[in-house]
Amino acid sequence: MQRRFTAPTALILALSLIVSAAGLRRRQAAVGDSASSALDATEEVLRSVSRLRGLKPKRSVRSNLKTRDEIKESVIRDMAESTTPEEFAASEKTLAKLGLVPRDFRLRDYMVSLLREQVAGFYEPKTQEFFLAAWIPIAEQKTVIAHELTHALQDQHFNLRRFEKWPKGDSDAELAAHALIEGDATVTMILYDYDQNKGQMSLPGPDSPADDESKYPVLARAPAVLRESLQFPYINGAIFVQAVLKNRSWPGLNGSYDKLPASTEQIMHPEKFLQGEGPVKIETGSLLPALGGDWKLLDSDVNGEFGFQLLLSEFIGKADSRKASEGWGGDRYASYQEKKTGAVMIAQYSTWDTARDAEEFFNAYCERTEKRYKSARPAPPETGGGQERRLYETEEGLVLIELRDQNVIIIEGAQTREQTARLREQLWQSRKDQAAR
């Protein structure tokens, strides 16, 4: 799914929820430091982090404090540089069509308030400087500094600027790369905490931190797609990094910056990364001719295993969603809008490791569709319809879901049967590139 609603691109963040969840239940220990004296400890923290992470500093790192509103300004500036208002609008329409956010949802505004609440600090590769949020509890300041200094070391050794302008339409791979960067910094941060406090080491659990409504009201009320996308690089990334470390040690992890994880599937199943099982690239071509009439392309991207899990779990159980998304091989979706009516159509092509995996996903998406649309009812197929092809009539147009061998196509929001048939024919001609990695 689009990474543009998960985080800024040119600022490498530490999130408050991760820092406090990793904070090892030793809050009371800290006494009487002020934020500026915490920054005085930067050199000392850098020495510890460098030793724990096994990367030598090539130069010292500048640091500074920022208020909540200054952080908000930085986030707004970064978003303005990386994402146009049209792209935000396209994401809003795609997410609303998929039933993941309310119809009048203001994505950009929500992301700004969410990040204003959550950003505990950030590192800026452009200026090679890190900023600490002035408001975070004293006990957490050095933890955040350790996280940010890991980013500084990553930048000095692996160049983080190359991640700033990721090609559009390749979000699943982009999210995977960010999971490596954030997972690395989160694991190092936890090691630092452990080293300093001789406490217990613990990773934040996937479902634990967001529940705290009084502490993080914006996060607690956020649509699941935003909350889980924001957390993914930190939580799943840390689990991924631990698995790679177990197998390959720190120098081995360093090699991952040359050969990046290529998909969220590899992050969620580190053995697939270690074995080099890369994603299949899908090219659907333009569907405008098949749509006919007056349509425009909103967005085209890759969902990935994680994106499909989010799509399913909004409407069906989490365990079922997780299972149905496994065995992902590759996918691409494209969303289009009819200029006059504003109607949105989303076409998806996905390929799976086995026919059984494809069938599981097919069944799960049918179940999702029946829950997503209040009036969804199966329409009688015209020809050759069976278990492997379902057509639904809904309050938002037709939904076709079809299974063929290891592949599934979905057409969601077509307006007539003729249009559905044209789209279906075109979509089945999508090209697959197995060698891509």
Residues 235/21, Cβ–Cβ less than 8 Å? no
CA gap 235, 248 in Å, rounded: 20
Which residue's CB is nearer to Zn ion, number 264 or number 420?
264
Under rule CB under 5 A, residue 115 binds Zn ion: no
Which residue's CB is nearer to Zn ion, number 210 or number 391?
210
Which residue's CB is nearer to Zn ion, number 182 or number 412?
182
CA dist list (Å): 407 to 75, 297, 322, 351:
39, 23, 18, 4
Which residue's CB is nearer to Zn ion, number 14 or number 366?
14
Which residue's CB is nearer to Zn ion, number 148 or number 360?
148
Name the segment binding Zn ion (CB under 5 A); options: 27-35, 174-182, 192-200, 210-218: 174-182
Which residue's CB is nearer to Zn ion, number 98 or number 136?
136
Query: C-beta of 233: minimal distance to Zn ion in Å?
Result: 8
Name the segment binding Zn ion (CB under 5 A); options: 128-136, 179-187, 215-223, 271-279: 179-187
CA gap 150, 400 in Å, rounded: 47
User: Where in 324-363 is the site for Zn ion (CB under 5 A)?
Assistant: none
Query: C-beta of 261: minimal distance to Zn ion in Å?
Result: 16
**Torsional sign, CA 297, 303, 308, 312:** negative
Under rule CB under 5 A, residue 133 binds Zn ion: no
Copy the structure tokens of residue 366: 């049918």
Q: Is 169 left (phi over 0), alpha (psi -120 to 50) or beta?
A: left
Which residue's CB is nearer to Zn ion, number 121 or number 330?
121
Q: Which residue is nearest to Zn ion (CB)?
A: 185
Under rule CB under 5 A, residue 79 binds Zn ion: no
Copy the structure tokens of residue 83: 């994402």
| Residue indicated by tokens 């249009």 | 419
Size of the site for Zn ion (CB under 5 A): 4
Under rule CB under 5 A, residue 19 binds Zn ion: no
CA gap 222, 344 in Å, rounded: 23
CA angle 306, 101, 14 (to 5 degrees): 55
| Residue indicated by tokens 């074995």 | 275
Query: C-beta of 26: minimal distance to Zn ion in Å?
Result: 21
Name the segment binding Zn ion (CB under 5 A); options: 14-22, 79-87, 313-321, 331-339: 14-22
Which residue's CB is nearer to Zn ion, number 105 or number 194?
194
Query: C-beta of 131: minimal distance to Zn ion in Å?
Result: 12
Residues 148/18, Cβ–Cβ less than 8 Å? no
Under rule CB under 5 A, residue 185 binds Zn ion: yes
Which positions ≥6 away from 275 have C-beta within 8 Å? Answer: none
Under rule CB under 5 A, residue 145 binds Zn ion: no
CA dist list (Å): 295 to 43, 290, 427:
57, 10, 17
Which positions lie near Zn ion, rule CB under 5 A? 12, 14, 182, 185
